[in-house]
Structure 1
Amino acid sequence: MHTYRYSAMDHQGRKLSGQLTAPGLTEARSQLRNKALYILDISLAPNFLNPFSILGALFRKLSPKQYRSASAADKVILFRQLALMLRSGNTLTQGLEVCAEMTEKLTLSRSLLDVLIRIRSGSSFAAAMDAQGRNFPPVVSKLIASAEVSGELQATLERLADNLERGAAVRRQLISSLAYPIVLFLAAFGVFMGLALGIVPKFAKMLEGKSQDLPAITQAMLDVSAWMIDYGAYLGGSLLGGILAILIAYTTRPGKAVIDRILLRVPIIGSSIRTSGMAQLGWTMSMLLSSGLTVLESLRVMSSITGNLRLAKCFDKAGSDILSGRSLAYGFQQSNIPVMVQHMTGIGERSGELEHVMHEIGKYYQHNAEIRIKAMIAMIEPAMTLVVGGMVAFVYIGFFKAMMQVSAG
């Protein structure tokens, strides 16, 4: 028999904690379920005669992984698990309870338990998910509300998982592609600063007693090093202050709106953001329309989940045009929405296949976004090579030319 320490919640939402004895972890969980308790955490109670047991319990509590917010991958796994539980004949509450126990993220587990308690108290699944705005975007509650009416909850959860997975795949590809150039640039910048602030000043002292004129590139290297020593701290402070100011402004809605508008006008970055936004528009609106939501409701959901506020404003304007009796194609006649999306939307409205057209738009622009990411990385890598090579070559050529001149007398 083992002793387990647990924390759980009852059907009224009160948190309970204590200890119990059971042959194994499965039996301990069964004991708590038989008492109608929702498990928050359960683990072996530390044996104070065994120091390794105490250290193991301490490391589990201090692990930062369980306190991080839920990622897109966590939500994909959750929706797929919940759909599988429903397909296997389990009830929604049983599926939620099992998913809450299986997830490693403490914040997501507590959100699911809160959803479970609200459902037990008579709330709908959609309303309970809507109350968890920190972990789930509005599109989740909207789709679930529609699925509860149509009875297609399992299919809706699978669509949600597919949609989140597609967006996560694009972000993952972008991050993995940019990792190498960024690391290369930081390493080269560190080498350059080490040479400019550490090696070059010592080299300059060695040349002070020489009456010869130094090569132009060597003199330029010494001048850059002296300038960095004198004003480098001010430059670094100004850059750091500017970055912090931008980040702080980005946390406010007016500042984010201005920065988002500027980003859309940057040649390469703006087109990439616009392409990704159109891919999200196509996939999400196709999913929402197929779940029974109206075009106006779909646009409102799109506006609430779009990261770029300028694009979100475009969707708001399209919704206002629909309320005024105009078509979606007319509402999309804006500078930040590509002409192809405007024409394809009009075709979908006239043929009555808007859902299918939006799906094709999402497929096309996601493929286009992947191509743009690859092209951008293909441009960045040689540019980084030139920058890094130029920085290192500048220092080494100046150093060795001076050494050769001094050694030649």
Structure 2
Amino acid sequence: MPKFYYIARNKAGKKDSGSEEAASQEEVISRLQAKDLIVISVYQESKESERGLDDEAVSKARFRPKHYRVGGDDVVLFCRQLATLLGAGVTILKSLEIIKKQVSSQKLANVINDLQKDMEAGLSFHEAMAKHRAVFSELWVNLVESGEASGNLAVVLNRLASYLERDAAFKKKIVSALIYPVILMFAGLGALLFLTIKIIPTFAELFKGFNITMPFLTRVLLSVSFFIRKFLLIITGAMVAGGFLMRKYISTRPGRKNAEKFLFGLPVFGEFYRVLTIERFTAEMSTLVESGVPILYSLEIAEHSVGSLVLGDIIRNVKDDVREGKSLSKPMEKSGFFEPMAVQMVTIGEEIGELASMFKRLNVFYQEYVDTFLARFTSLFEPIMLIFMGAVVGIMVVGMFLPIFQLAQIKQ
């Protein structure tokens, strides 16, 4: 009977390797899975040929840095394909090999190749992924670690894939809803700039031959046009430099936190931004808790991956209170960041043991809120922008024709 060598991990994450005599590779996999082992690879060759299984190789692999960047859609597809293959009983390494041959992104293929090498060197799947922070977020790594520990990696990856797909679709919906208003706004500003730089100066040349006192509105428009034309390069340079400095400042932790506080304080849009951050928090918490991650660990992950420093600080305070034995809902209520309805639903979820379900319901509620807001915003923005543009252009036209009307009255 052929002899197969295998690499696997138990629920505690400890590596287990050895050999089995069996009629086929599938039989070996079935035996290992019956022992609640997570199968990494099964191969029929001399054990000595297996690469990098000594402690030194594992140590080197664990700390070798990676710097690839992969598109979000490619990562989502990778997660779904991997979950499907693992659910069908294919080993991790074999699944990675299959996906690597199919992906269109060479960068993702390079990442998968690195994952294979690191796992063959003895690293667990989540340890190999942790070296690619630009590709796999902390949420990714910790959920995979939870799946490896529980022996339900395929189930956890399916949940993660569903979360990533929903999150990607949600972001695309927001972007697509805002594209038209942004284009309309820039088109309007461009038209105003064209009138100021090109059209008004033409009237200014015409007015030089008029021996009359210009109306106040006309003088203001001519002065604004002259100022913008004279200092256009300086104004443009100042705006570019200001934008660069602002970006540098926001890239720092204090700068980003102050920028978030400013956004939260905006009328109307501040509430929208707050709901967006809570939507992400509820989506992550529902996925984490449903995957069996302990509540304290889930809060730890959400604190760093929710995408908001302000909410991250609130989550850290909530986590500290929960660690002291308090319920999750009490510190959430104390923060003042969450609505009473959200606090009440979390309270009920804790009481009936359905916290993941309640977070999922909250996530659906916040997504519907965002959809409604975007629909109202886009329906109101166009007429408001058109009215504003019409008013500004009307003022400019009146200001330019007032001297002509005044001259006509004098000649009469």
* TM, length-normalised to structure 2: 0.77
Q: Provide the C-alpha distance between the structure 2 equivalents of 1:236 and 1:270, rounded to a whole number of angstroms.
A: 29
Q: Provide the C-alpha distance between the structure 1 equivalents of 2:402 and 2:262, rounded to a whole number of angstroms.
A: 45
Listed as ranges, the matches of 1:145-294 within 5 Å are 145-294=145-294
2:351 aligned residue: 350
Q: Provide the C-alpha distance between the structure 1 equivalents of 2:389 and 2:156, rounded to a whole number of angstroms.
A: 49
Aligned partners of 2:85 and 2:95 also within 8 Å: yes
2:14 aligned residue: none
> Which deviations, in whole Å up to 9, do the C-alpha atoms of 1:308-332 show, x marking residues without a partner?
1000111111111111121111221
1:118 Cα shift?
1.1
1:406 Cα shift?
5.0
Aligned partners of 2:68 and 2:134 also within 8 Å: no
SS at match of 1:332: helix
SS at match of 1:267: coil
The residue type paired with residue 78 of structure 2 is L
Aligned partners of 2:329 and 2:344 also within 8 Å: yes
| 1:375 and 2:376 matched | yes
1:400 Cα shift?
4.2
Aligned partners of 1:285 and 1:355 also within 8 Å: yes
1:403 Cα shift?
4.5
Q: Provide the C-alpha distance between the structure 2 equivalents of 1:320 and 1:107, rounded to a whole number of angstroms.
A: 40
Aligned partners of 1:272 and 1:373 also within 8 Å: no
SS at match of 1:132: coil
Aligned partners of 2:68 and 2:132 also within 8 Å: no
Aligned partners of 1:69 and 1:105 also within 8 Å: no
Seen in structure 2, the aligned counterparts of structure 1 residues 83 and 174 have a Cα distance that, compared at 3 Å, is same
1:129 aligned residue: 129
> Which deviations, in whole Å up to 9, do the C-alpha atoms of 1:107-144 show, x marking residues without a partner?
32222211111111121112111221111111111111
Listed as ranges, the matches of 1:29-44 within 5 Å are none
1:183 Cα shift?
1.5
The residue type paired with residue 286 of structure 1 is S
> Which deviations, in whole Å up to 9, do the C-alpha atoms of 1:174-224 show, x marking residues without a partner?
211221122222222222222212222132122112113444443332222
Q: Provide the C-alpha distance between the structure 2 equivalents of 1:387 and 1:126, rounded to a whole number of angstroms.
A: 54
Moved more, 165-174 or 96-105: 96-105
Seen in structure 2, the aligned counterparts of structure 1 residues 404 and 293 have a Cα distance that, compared at 3 Å, is same
2:60 aligned residue: none
Q: Provide the C-alpha distance between the structure 1 equivalents of 2:324 and 2:244, rounded to a whole number of angstroms.
A: 42
Q: Provide the C-alpha distance between the structure 1 equivalents of 2:332 and 2:205, rounded to a whole number of angstroms.
A: 66
1:72 aligned residue: 72
Q: Considering only aligned residues, what root-mean-square deviation do their CA atoms show, in Å?
A: 2.4
1:58 aligned residue: none
Q: Provide the C-alpha distance between the structure 2 equivalents of 1:403 and 1:93, rounded to a whole number of angstroms.
A: 81
SS at match of 2:221: helix
SS at match of 1:273: helix
Listed as ranges, the matches of 1:77-92 within 5 Å are 77-92=77-92
Seen in structure 2, the aligned counterparts of structure 1 residues 390 and 104 have a Cα distance that, compared at 3 Å, is farther
Aligned partners of 1:278 and 1:361 also within 8 Å: no
Q: Provide the C-alpha distance between the structure 2 equivalents of 1:264 and 1:101, rounded to a whole number of angstroms.
A: 46
Seen in structure 2, the aligned counterparts of structure 1 residues 402 and 174 have a Cα distance that, compared at 3 Å, is farther
The residue type paired with residue 201 of structure 1 is P
2:321 aligned residue: 321
SS at match of 2:210: coil
The residue type paired with residue 371 of structure 2 is E
1:387 Cα shift?
2.8
* TM, length-normalised to structure 1: 0.78
Seen in structure 2, the aligned counterparts of structure 1 residues 205 and 69 have a Cα distance that, compared at 3 Å, is same
Aligned residues: 345
Q: Provide the C-alpha distance between the structure 1 equivalents of 2:71 and 2:377, rounded to a whole number of angstroms.
A: 26
> Which deviations, in whole Å up to 9, do the C-alpha atoms of 1:288-315 show, x marking residues without a partner?
1111111000001101111110001111
Q: Provide the C-alpha distance between the structure 1 equivalents of 2:185 and 2:199, rounded to a whole number of angstroms.
A: 20
Q: Provide the C-alpha distance between the structure 2 equivalents of 1:233 and 1:118, rounded to a whole number of angstroms.
A: 53
The residue type paired with residue 304 of structure 2 is S
Q: Provide the C-alpha distance between the structure 2 equivalents of 1:135 and 1:108, rounded to a whole number of angstroms.
A: 9
1:249 Cα shift?
0.8
1:24 aligned residue: none
Q: Provide the C-alpha distance between the structure 2 equivalents of 1:71 and 1:403, rounded to a whole number of angstroms.
A: 59
SS at match of 2:268: helix
1:148 Cα shift?
1.7
Unmatched segments (≥5 aa) in structure 2: 1-48, 50-66
